[in-house]
Structure 1
């Protein structure tokens, strides 16, 4: 017995020693990026010095470029927006270096021609359409932008995603006015139907660019709308977290239908169609699917956290392999973090019955899934079948399956990721940057034929609670955030113009 206790003690001491050693010595903070003060073509873009910047943004927000459903959008307003952009940015539209194309009637594609055709081009992209808004549920008119005393601009599109469109235009206009002549060609692409799958806009843009860039093995990178800089602190980290989306989840909606006998409401059977459906739906909840923690990008995320965390969190984050079950449990109980580690299910629509005193002959509901990278749509549907476990309940696709996108590279040598990260840190210092998964869908799914380096990131700094404004009531963005967003693209364009994109910095050495 004594020898057994001795062995247990030795193993315990050895394990603790390994855990502490990894935490203390393997994960060190990275050096700050080089100062942008002496960067060629660099200058600070200030809204106070040029009030027209904010006026142009407000003008764009006031044009209701609404997408309603696939192939259905407010065409006259889309045309009005295109005309507004042309009038607002004379330097861009008058430059011999820049060509504009109107794709599929309402999408915009700009080519900013570089002087060195050997350099692979990159692309800045977003979308000009927005979702509808219920005016009665807003504190102000969603299509009459207003700046309130809290320093926020309130309007539909402030966060999704006209702020990106206009910031890209502002940064490019600013640089063209200063005489900027890029070495590296870049594209600015703005689809008009992203909110309804991008079938008309981004898909057509991708076809055009595939032909146009065929002399390159791939584009250098593409940056689209996506994750943000979180001001909501992670446990043990006193820094904001810059979340660069290196992949996006897949999309799957399943219609489930229960049937029942028709009759008078005074003589109900043990289970009506609605009751049967309700029983089935109760089996689905946010974290019912298996956790895939560690099979995505979460391990890398926590190891980066380890370099900046305080004790004892540093011990936990640097030993993900050991504390994985605990981390999984904690993340599964937070709606935002839970969505990072598994496929999620939301019951989004329910319908049943025809009259209050008539038994329903059927009832149906929609299960909306967002598919984790470690799963496929087919696997998820099979899990649905197992959970339902009732042959009388029918299942059918409510919309085509959009499988999870590939994971873009985010290594120390990955130029696109590192260039975005470097530019982010120049504008938002004291931020810890990590790869993550974008939980929604974007137009970038159409651009996988152009490059394997697609990043989904919106350079705004917000509390995670503010993310509810996406598609929500009282959508808003602070004036300060808009100014920093423009400066982010300004830095990104300058940094991306280097002949060799090399921001290599080793995070740690494995034990």
Structure 2
């Protein structure tokens, strides 16, 4: 009979026990990080009735735990902006602003696998919640990165601001726009702004240096009413359909460029119909044997900063809504694409912009990979800061993640979330430590 195996296994047992004990503090800390994220996700800040009071109290409690300076700004009643500050050792240097928004879009609860404000974690580690990608993840990653830097004993040279603003999902007029135009913001002496980006389905993080502007177009057509059986020239519906078909062809031509890989989505003009309205109402619906005298359609247009606006407006006036066909048009919203000098609102992505170079290097230092710089296909709060002439970059560290913002079953994997914290730790360290070569200080204009 051989020797008892238990004696040979004892060293291995104690070795494994030692590993478990030594690993537990890290596991506990990661668990705490995820728990804090879940708590933020569980606060229902969905439009049109976001619980800003609860989110504000949560963020202030986080600020207190991090020993950050804090203030709540309310430029619009019941639309609080939470502004946190980590003072730098050299307040003469332009500061860093990390911006995020607290509101999220509504959810169709019945279409979700898990409740949108339950922050459920499945067996794969996916955290299901509205805002898990857009963009409560980024706001909490800012705070967790600061927590790690403070724990390591790091002290910033530049002052770091972290802003949590309301109402981005409905235009940002009561949030980032008010902050950017305030005296408070002027006193902050901001040199660079980071804001939200998008998830990436592959291993490369996505960086955004500009964004498309939203133009909301309504086209109206009029004509004589007539019997439903008669063929008329220039009827309201016929003229509107001609315009819709022409716009559809233009949309297809732009979409073909994206499908072929010739251009990214943010580089083309997109048209999507938002509504179609016509007909003569009746108690049971609509009168079916009467051709209406008026018809209108609404379009959501997204336009990149480099687009030829004169050509687009001419096309609308002459081809899609010509007065010769009894048609008119109006814009219900027209986003700004250029500064006062007519230059596209974009941030430089080369060595002329030290903030861009620092960002790329910091991401690589954290073992992240970067794709080609992009124009954001929709609109973000970053535009309010670019309008001031500030560099603003969109970035949400989510690689190998499906793009689910505004979608059912929005989720972010907890491992990807934790990795993003390390990335922001690297970015904050690089940004707040930066001074121009050969200088003890620098001005915002020089940057």
Given the two structures, how large is their TM-score scaled by the length of structure 2? 0.80
**3-state secondary structure, aligned to 2:350:** coil
Deviation at 1:211, TM superposition (A): 2.4
**Within 2, Cα distance between the matches of 1:411 and 1:182?**
25
Per-residue CA distance 1:136-170 (angstroms, 9 max, x = gap): 22222212221112321111101111111111122
CA contact (8 A) 1:63 1:143 kept: yes
Confirm whether residue 80 of structure 1 aligns to residue 88 of structure 2: no
CA deviation digits over 1:362-399, x for unaligned, max 9?
22111221112223555422222233263212111122
From 390, 394, 397, the counterpart of 1:456:
394
Q: Distance in 1 between matches of 2:264 and 2:252?
A: 10
CA distance in 2, matches of 1:475, 1:376: 35
* Counterpart for residue 500 of structure 1: 435
Q: Distance in 2 between matches of 1:287 and 1:243?
A: 28
Following TM superposition, by how much is the alpha carbon of 1:129 offset from its aligned partner in structure 2, in angstroms?
0.5
Conserved 8 A contact 2:220-2:296: yes
By how many angstroms is 1:191 displaced? 1.1
In the alignment, is residue 116 of structure 1 matched against residue 90 of structure 2? yes
Residue number in structure 1 paired with 2:359: 420
Structure 1 stretches of 5 or more lacking a match? 1-44, 232-239, 292-328, 503-511
Equivalent of 2:186, from 207, 211, 221?
211
Give the 3 Å change call, closer, same or farther, for CA 272–148 of structure 1 in structure 2: farther
Cα offset, 1:50, TM superposition: 3.1
Q: Structure 2 residue aligned with 1:98, among 65, 69, 78?
A: 69
Distance 1:213 1:81, change over 3 A: closer
Query: Residue 192 of structure 2 is aligned with which of 218, 221, 224?
Result: 221
* Counterpart contact for 1:222–1:451, Cα < 8 Å: no
C-alpha separation in 2, matches of 1:189 and 1:379 = 38
- C-alpha distance after superposition, 1:4-54 (max 9, x if no partner): xxxxxxxxxxxxxxxxxxxxxxxxxxxxxxxxxxxxxxxxx9666331211
2:294 to 357, 362, 386: 362
Once residues 111 and 440 of structure 1 are traced to their aligned partners in structure 2, the CA distance between those partners, rounded to angstroms, is 29
- Asked whether 1:202 is paired with 2:176, we answer yes
Q: Distance in 2 between matches of 1:369 and 1:46?
A: 48
Contact 1:377–1:403 (CA under 8 A) maintained in structure 2: no
Distance in structure 2 (CA, Å) of the matches to 1:351 and 1:389: 16
Deviation at 1:501, TM superposition (A): 6.1
Residue 160 in structure 1 maps to residue 86 in structure 2 = no
Judge conservation of contact 2:84–2:162 (CA < 8 Å) in 1. yes
CA deviations on 1:182-238 (whole Å, 9 max, x unpaired) are 221011112101111111111221123442045xxxx3311100244450xxxxxxx
TM-score, normalization: structure 1? 0.71
Per-residue CA deviation, residues 435-480 of structure 1 (Å, 9 max, x unaligned), is 22111111111113555311111111035xx22x111111111111
Q: 1:483 aligns with which of 390, 399, 418?
A: 418
The residue that corresponds to 1:339 in the other structure is 265
Say if 2:83 and 2:164, in contact at 8 Å, map to a contact too: yes
Do the aligned partners of residues 65 and 432 (structure 1) sit closer, same or farther apart at CA in structure 2, a change above 3 Å counting? closer
Contact 2:98 2:195 in 1 (8 A): yes
State how 1:428-447 maps to structure 2 within 5 Å: 428-429=367-368, 431-447=369-385
2-side partners of 1:287 and 1:428: how far apart? 41
Confirm or deny: 8 A CA contact 2:346 2:386 kept in the other structure: no
> What is the match of residue 388 of structure 1?
320
Relative to structure 2, which stretch is displaced further, 404-413 or 250-259?
404-413
Preserved contact between residue 191 and residue 443 of structure 1 (Cα < 8 Å): no
C-alpha separation in 2, matches of 1:337 and 1:173:
40
Q: Secondary structure at the match of 2:206?
A: strand
Q: What SS does structure 2 have at the residue aligned with 1:114? A: coil
Task: Number of aligned residue pairs: give it.
Answer: 396
Query: Would the aligned equivalents of 1:419 and 1:501 in 2 still touch at CA under 8 Å?
Result: no
SS in 1 for 2:118: coil
Distance 1:242 1:88, change over 3 A: closer
Q: Using the alignment, how far apart are the partners of 1:241 and 1:64 within structure 2?
A: 31
User: How far apart, CA to CA, are the structure 2 residues paired with 1:159 and 1:334?
Assistant: 27
Within 2, Cα distance between the matches of 1:361 and 1:204? 43
Q: Is the 8 A contact 1:230 1:462 kept in 2?
A: yes
* TM-aligned CA distance change 1:89 to 1:118, over 3 Å: closer
Q: Distance in 2 between matches of 1:433 and 1:414?
A: 18
